[in-house]
A and B are shown apart, each in its own frame.
Chain A
Amino acid sequence: MNATDIQIAICGSAGDGTIAAGDILRNAVAAAGYRVICFDVYPPEIRGFGKCISRLRITTEQSYSLKRQSDVLVSLDDSHTIPHAGEVRDNGAVIFESQPISPCAEGEHMSGHVLPGQIPYGFPIRELAQKATGGARSRNLVVLGFIAGLLGLAPASFQKIIEKKFAKQGPKVVARNQAGFQAGFDAGKGSFKLDDAAFGPFEKPASAGKVIMLSGNAAVVQGCIDAELATFFGYPITPATTIMERLATELPKRGHRLLQTEDEISAMAATVGAGFAGARAATATSGPGLALMAEMLGLATITETPCVIFVSQRGGPSTGMPTKTEQSDLNAALYGSPGDAQRIVIAPTNVEGCYRCAGKAFEMAERYQTPVIVLLDLYLSNRYETVTLAASGPPFVLDANKPLRRLEPGEVYKRYALTADGVSPRAVPGDAGCMHVITGLEHNELGRPNDSAEMHTAMSRKRHDKLQAALEHPDFAVTKRFGNTGRVKVGILAWGSTFGECLEAMFMAQAEGIVCSAMKVVMLSPFPTKAISAFMDDCDAVLVPEVNYEGQFAQLVQGVLARPVVRLSRVPSSPMPVELILGEIRRLSGVTASAIAS
C-alpha cells in the first residue's frame, strides 16, 4: 500500500459554501480512516465578499503541517482563486467553472491563469448543479463530488456525512445536496485521470483508541470535559470564542456551569473566585482579553489559587488582526502582571496536544496552586486534525490537591505554611475550622498582611520554587526531541503551532542528507533550562522559527541561557512557510543551493 499524501485547497467567496465543502470533505475522509490536517482562512466579516479558503492535507500517517503546495485547487470564485494558482504543484489539478454565467473580461477567468505544468479541469459546475438540484446553490457539493470522482474516493462516506449535515433542514435538502454530489462525482469519474494523485484502495487501520476529528478549540473542550471542569467564565473574543460556545452546550449536560461575564476582567475574577471555592475553573480569551486579565492573574499568583486560562493568540498589538494567526502573546503570557509573575505557561503544538494540555492544566493548577496559561493560537484553535483518544479513558488525574490534614485542637490553620515543596495544604470554604483570608497583599503563613523583607523574600521563593516541580510533572512531556540523535548540524527549537512546520522542514532536510533535529518546547514557564541546554550542546547551530516580529521565544532562550540562537521571526499573517524554515536549515548546515540542485 502506497502512503497517500494529498492536499486539496478549496477557494471561494464568503457565501459560496467553501468552508462547508471543506467540512464535509474532512469528515468523509476521516470516516474512511485517513488522517487529516485542515485549516480554513476566512475574513473577519460575516457577510460580504471576503475570501475563504479551506485547505486539507489527507494522509495515511499523521502529518504535522500543511504543505506549501497543494495537489488540487478548486475555484468557486475565480477572482479570489487566481492569486492562488501558484500554490498548486507541477502536475497538480486546478478545478474551475468552464461556463461562467456572464462574459469574462480578459484575465478574469481561471483558465487564463493555470500555469504550465498544472492540469486544468474546467467543467460546467453551475450547469450540473442546476440540472441535478434545480438551483445553483449546491455548486460546492458538485465540486466535492468531482474531487471524489477524480481522485477515487468512495461516495458512500460523503453521502452519509451530507445526510447528517443537512438532516435538520429536511429530507428534500438532503436529497438535493446528495444529487449535486452525485452529479459532480459522475463528472469527475468520467474526466481524464490525474496522474500520481489518487486515493488507492485503503484499509482502515486498527487503532488503539477512538479516532475523532477535532479542531484545536474542540480538543481543548474535550480536555476540559474529561478533566471534569466544573465552572467556566468567559467573554467572546476571536479566536477563542468557540471554546466557550462548545462548553455552553456541553457543561450543563454534565450538571456544570458556564457564565458569560460582562468583560474579561470579571471572567478572570470569577475564575479565581471559583478556584478559591474549590471548583475546577477556567476561562478562555485572546491577547486583548489577556491584557485585561493581567492584574487578576497576579492575584491568582499571590493567593496561590488554582485556575486555568486558555489564550488563543491572534495578530497584534491591540485589536491587530483578529482572524489571522500569530505567536506574539508569549511575553504577555509569561510576564503580563504586576510584580514577579510566577505561573505555569504551556503551549501545545498540535490538536492532540491541545487535548492533553487542557486536561493536564487542571492537574498542574491544583498540584502547584497556581494559574496555568495554555497558550494556543488561531492556527491551532481553528485547524482540524484527526486525534486518537486512548481506549483506556482520559489520562487525567481528577483531584490533584495536596491532602489537607485535620487540625489539632487549638491549632490555627496556616494557608501559606512554608513547606519543603513550597505547596501548602489548601482549605476551601466549607472546610471546618480552617477560616482564612486570601489577599493580594504580601502576607505571612496565616495569610495576614505582612510586608517585612524576610517574609516577602520567603513567600517569593515559595511561589517560585514550588513551580519547578512542574518540569517533572508526571505523564507530561515538557520538551521532546525529534530527528537525528547525538551531534547535529542544525537544531530547531520551536514552540506552539509552528512546531508542525518545523518538523516537516526537518524531515525534508533529512531527506536531503542534512543531519538535524528539532525540539518542541511545550512548557515555557517554568523554563526547562536543563533539557534545552542539553539540546543546544548537541547543535552546531540553533534555529528558532516563530510567528512574531520581535523573536519573543528566541529572547527568552537567550535571556535564560545566555547562548546565541539564529532567529527566524516572521509575521506572514499565516502559518510559517515550511520552505522558509528549510531554507534556513540549508543555509546553516552549509549546504549551498547548487549542491541541492545537483
Chain B
Amino acid sequence: MSIPIMPVYVDVKLREVQESGRLDYRSRSLPTWCPGCGYFAIVEGMTHACNEMGIPRDQAVVVSGIGCSSRFPFFVDLYGVHTLHGRALPVATGIKTANDRLTVIAVGGDGDGFAIGGGHISHAAKRNVDITYLLFDNGIYGLTKGQTSPLSAVGLKTTTTPFENPERPLNPLMMLLSYGASWVGQAYAGRPDHLREMITQAIAHRGFSYLHILSPCVTFDKTSKTYVNLGLQTRDLPESHDPGDLMAAMHQAQDLDHPALGLYYQQFRPTLGDTFEQVIAKSGGSSS
C-alpha cells in the first residue's frame, strides 16, 4: 500500500469523480448502509468498473439475495433483481440463459452465499455461467442485527453465539477453486483502488468469476474483521503467483490468518451459453 504524499482536496476529488462519468451508474437512492461500512467502496468499485468497460446501463443486470449487501441493486442505475435469501445465482442463471448479451452480476453476503444459498454456488461454477459473483464477506449477519455466519471466526461473540462461536469458518476460496470456478479472486474493501481493479477484471472474464471481498461490519463486529485487523492481516499474492496453477492457488487459499489479495486462478473454458449452442447444433437446430 502506497501512502499518498500529495494532499487530497475535496473540490479536486469531487471534480475528478464527476468528470469520470461513473456517477451515471449511481442511482438516486442513498445507500442504507451504516456509515463506515465497507460496502460503499464496493458500489464505487462497481460503478468504476462499468464506466471503464463502457457497459451500457440498460444492458446490465445486478442480481442480489437478501441481506445488507443485497440492497446493492437499488444503489446503482442498472436493471436489478432483489431476489430471495440465497437465490441470486439461480435467478442470474435464468437471466443469462434467456439473454446472453446482458452483463449479469450477482451480489450477496456471506450468509446469503454460503449458508442458505450454499447449494447453488457449486452448480453455477460447474456450469461456468458467464456471470460475475461478488461475495461481500463481513463474517456476520448485519441486517438481522448481528448473528453468526458460516464465515464468522471461531470465538466471535454474536447474539446467537453469546458464549463465542465454536464452529470453524468455511474456506470459501478453497470451495470455489475445487468447484471449478473459472476466475477466483480476493479483494478488501479497505483497498478501494485494488478492489475496483479486481471488479473490472472479474466482470471482463468470460465465464463464472468469483470475487471474494473482505469488508468490515462496523456495527456488529468490533473484534474480528475490523479495518484494523484486516489492514494488518491481508497481504498481496506473491508476484510469482501463476493464476494458471490451480494447486498454487489452493496453497495460497489455505492461509486464512493472512488472506492474500489478488487473482488466485483463471481458466478459459466453454460457458453455459456455449454449451447451449453446442446442444442446439447437435440437435440439428439453429439459434433463434
Which A residues are closer than 8 A to B by beta carbons? 230-231, 233, 249, 252-257, 259, 261-263, 265-267, 269-279, 281, 295-296, 299, 303, 429-441, 448-449
Q: How far is the CA of A233 from the CA of B90 in the complex (A)?
A: 10
A450 to chain B, nearest CB (A): 12
- In the complex, the number of residue pairs spanning A and B with C-beta atoms less than 8 Å apart equals 155
- Cβ contacts under 8 Å, B81 to chain A: 273, 276, 303, 437-439
Select one of A263, A281, A436 contacting B79, CB under 8 A: A436
A272 to chain B, nearest CB (A): 6
Tell me if A429 and B99 are in contact (CB < 8 A): yes
Which B residues are closer than 8 A to A by beta carbons? 29, 57-63, 66, 73-74, 77-84, 87, 89-99, 101-102, 119-120, 122-123, 272, 276, 279-280, 282-288
Q: Give the 3 A-B residue pairs with the shortest CB-CB distance, closest first.
A: A273-B94, A270-B94, A266-B90
Q: How far is the CA of A439 from the CA of B74 in the complex (A)?
A: 9
Tell me if B59 and A252 are in contact (CB < 8 A): no
Tell me if A281 and B98 are in contact (CB < 8 A): yes
Tell me if B58 and A434 are in contact (CB < 8 A): yes
- Cβ contacts under 8 Å, B66 to chain A: 440
Tell me if B87 and A278 are in contact (CB < 8 A): no
Select one of B29, B60, B84, B283 contacting A252, CB under 8 A: B283
Tell me if A269 and B119 are in contact (CB < 8 A): no
A24 to chain B, nearest CB (A): 27
What is the chain A residue whose CB lies nearest that of B87?
Answer: A269
Q: How far is the CA of A429 from the CA of B92 in the complex (A)?
A: 12
Select one of B79, B283, B287 contacting A435, CB under 8 A: B79
Tell me if B93 and A266 are in contact (CB < 8 A): yes
A-B contact pairs, 7 of them (CB 8 A): A230-B98, A231-B97, A269-B94, A278-B98, A303-B81, A438-B80, A440-B82
What is the chain A residue whose CB lies nearest that of B286?
Answer: A255
A453 to chain B, nearest CB (A): 21
Tell me if B84 and A256 are in contact (CB < 8 A): no
- Contacts A269-B94, A276-B95 known; A262 to B84 CB distance under 8 Å? no
- Cβ contacts under 8 Å, A257 to chain B: 97, 276, 280
- Cβ contacts under 8 Å, A433 to chain B: 58
Tell me if B95 and A437 are in contact (CB < 8 A): no
Known: A276-B95, A437-B62. 4 other contacts (CB 8 A): A252-B276, A261-B123, A267-B90, A434-B58
Q: Is the interface of A mostly helix, strand, loop or mixed?
A: mixed
Tell me if B97 and A435 are in contact (CB < 8 A): no
Tell me if A430 and B102 are in contact (CB < 8 A): yes
Tell me if A252 and B282 are in contact (CB < 8 A): yes
Of A255, A273, A434, A449, chain B has the most CB atoms within 10 Å of the CB of A273
Tell me if A299 and B84 are in contact (CB < 8 A): yes
- Cβ contacts under 8 Å, B95 to chain A: 273-274, 276-277, 429
Tell me if A254 and B98 are in contact (CB < 8 A): no
- Cβ contacts under 8 Å, B62 to chain A: 437
- Cβ contacts under 8 Å, A263 to chain B: 119
- Cβ contacts under 8 Å, A431 to chain B: 58
Tell me if A273 and B92 are in contact (CB < 8 A): yes
Tell me if B83 and A440 are in contact (CB < 8 A): yes
Select one of B59, B94, B280, B287 contacting A430, CB under 8 A: B59
- Cβ contacts under 8 Å, A432 to chain B: 58
Select one of B84, B89, B92, B94 contacting A231, CB under 8 A: B94
A299 to chain B, nearest CB (A): 6
Select one of B82, B87, B97 contacting A439, CB under 8 A: B82
- Cβ contacts under 8 Å, B94 to chain A: 231, 233, 269-277, 281
Tell me if A266 and B283 are in contact (CB < 8 A): no
Of A253, A429, A434, chain B has the most CB atoms within 10 Å of the CB of A429
Tell me if A277 and B123 are in contact (CB < 8 A): no
- Contacts A255-B288, A265-B90, A277-B102 known; A270 to B97 CB distance under 8 Å? yes
Q: How far is the CA of A279 from the CA of B96 in the complex (A)?
A: 11
- Cβ contacts under 8 Å, A296 to chain B: 84, 87
Q: How far is the CA of A437 from the CA of B76 in the complex (A)?
A: 10
What is the chain A residue whose CB lies nearest that of B79?
Answer: A429
Q: How far is the CA of A128 from the CA of B12 in the complex (A)?
A: 99
Tell me if A277 and B84 are in contact (CB < 8 A): no
- Cβ contacts under 8 Å, B80 to chain A: 435-438
- Cβ contacts under 8 Å, B99 to chain A: 277-279, 429-430
Q: How far is the CA of A270 from the CA of B94 in the complex (A)?
A: 4
Tell me if A262 and B123 are in contact (CB < 8 A): yes
B185 to chain A, nearest CB (A): 24
Of A254, A259, A278, A431, chain B has the most CB atoms within 10 Å of the CB of A259
Q: How far is the CA of A435 from the CA of B95 in the complex (A)?
A: 15
Select one of A266, A274, A277, A281 contacting B87, CB under 8 A: A266
B231 to chain A, nearest CB (A): 33
- Contacts A270-B97, A273-B93 known; A265 to B87 CB distance under 8 Å? yes
What is the chain A residue whose CB lies nearest that of B278?
Answer: A252
Q: How far is the CA of A256 from the CA of B286 in the complex (A)?
A: 9
Tell me if A253 and B102 are in contact (CB < 8 A): no
- Cβ contacts under 8 Å, B276 to chain A: 252, 257
Q: How far is the CA of A433 from the CA of B77 in the complex (A)?
A: 10
Q: How far is the CA of A448 from the CA of B58 in the complex (A)?
A: 18
- Cβ contacts under 8 Å, B123 to chain A: 261-262, 266
Tell me if A270 and B29 are in contact (CB < 8 A): no
Tell me if B91 and A269 are in contact (CB < 8 A): yes
- Contacts A252-B282, A273-B92 known; A437 to B79 CB distance under 8 Å? yes
Tell me if B59 and A429 are in contact (CB < 8 A): yes
What is the chain A residue whose CB lies nearest that of B86?
Answer: A265
Select one of B78, B97, B101, B120 contacting A274, CB under 8 A: B97
What is the chain B residue whose CB lies nearest that of A249?
Answer: B283
What is the chain B residue whose CB lies nearest that of A437?
Answer: B80
Tell me if A435 and B288 are in contact (CB < 8 A): no
What is the chain A residue whose CB lies nearest that of B119?
Answer: A262
A383 to chain B, nearest CB (A): 28
- Cβ contacts under 8 Å, B120 to chain A: 262, 266
What is the chain B residue whose CB lies nearest that of A266?
Answer: B90
- Cβ contacts under 8 Å, A231 to chain B: 94, 97-98
Select one of B58, B74, B284, B286 contacting A449, CB under 8 A: B74
Select one of B59, B90, B122 contacting A273, CB under 8 A: B90
- Cβ contacts under 8 Å, B97 to chain A: 231, 233, 257, 259, 270, 273-274, 279
- Cβ contacts under 8 Å, A448 to chain B: 29, 74
Tell me if B285 and A254 are in contact (CB < 8 A): yes
B87 to chain A, nearest CB (A): 5
- Cβ contacts under 8 Å, A266 to chain B: 87, 89-90, 93, 120, 123
- Cβ contacts under 8 Å, B74 to chain A: 437, 439, 448-449
- Contacts A230-B98, A430-B102 known; A438 to B58 CB distance under 8 Å? no
What is the chain A residue whose CB lies nearest that of B74?
Answer: A437
Tell me if A295 and B84 are in contact (CB < 8 A): yes
- Cβ contacts under 8 Å, A429 to chain B: 58-61, 79, 95, 99, 102
- Cβ contacts under 8 Å, B102 to chain A: 277, 429-430
- Cβ contacts under 8 Å, B77 to chain A: 435
- Contacts A269-B94, A273-B98 known; A254 to B83 CB distance under 8 Å? no
Tell me if B84 and A273 are in contact (CB < 8 A): no
B64 to chain A, nearest CB (A): 9
Q: How far is the CA of A321 from the CA of B98 in the complex (A)?
A: 35
- Cβ contacts under 8 Å, B280 to chain A: 252-253, 255-257
Q: How far is the CA of A434 from the CA of B284 in the complex (A)?
A: 37
A257 to chain B, nearest CB (A): 5
- Cβ contacts under 8 Å, B288 to chain A: 230, 254-256
- Cβ contacts under 8 Å, A254 to chain B: 285, 288
Of B57, B90, B288, chain A has the most CB atoms within 10 Å of the CB of B90
A247 to chain B, nearest CB (A): 12
Select one of A270, A430, A435, A437 contacting B90, CB under 8 A: A270
- Cβ contacts under 8 Å, B73 to chain A: 437, 439
What is the chain A residue whose CB lies nearest that of B56?
Answer: A432
Tell me if A269 and B90 are in contact (CB < 8 A): yes
Q: How far is the CA of A3 from the CA of B92 in the complex (A)?
A: 56
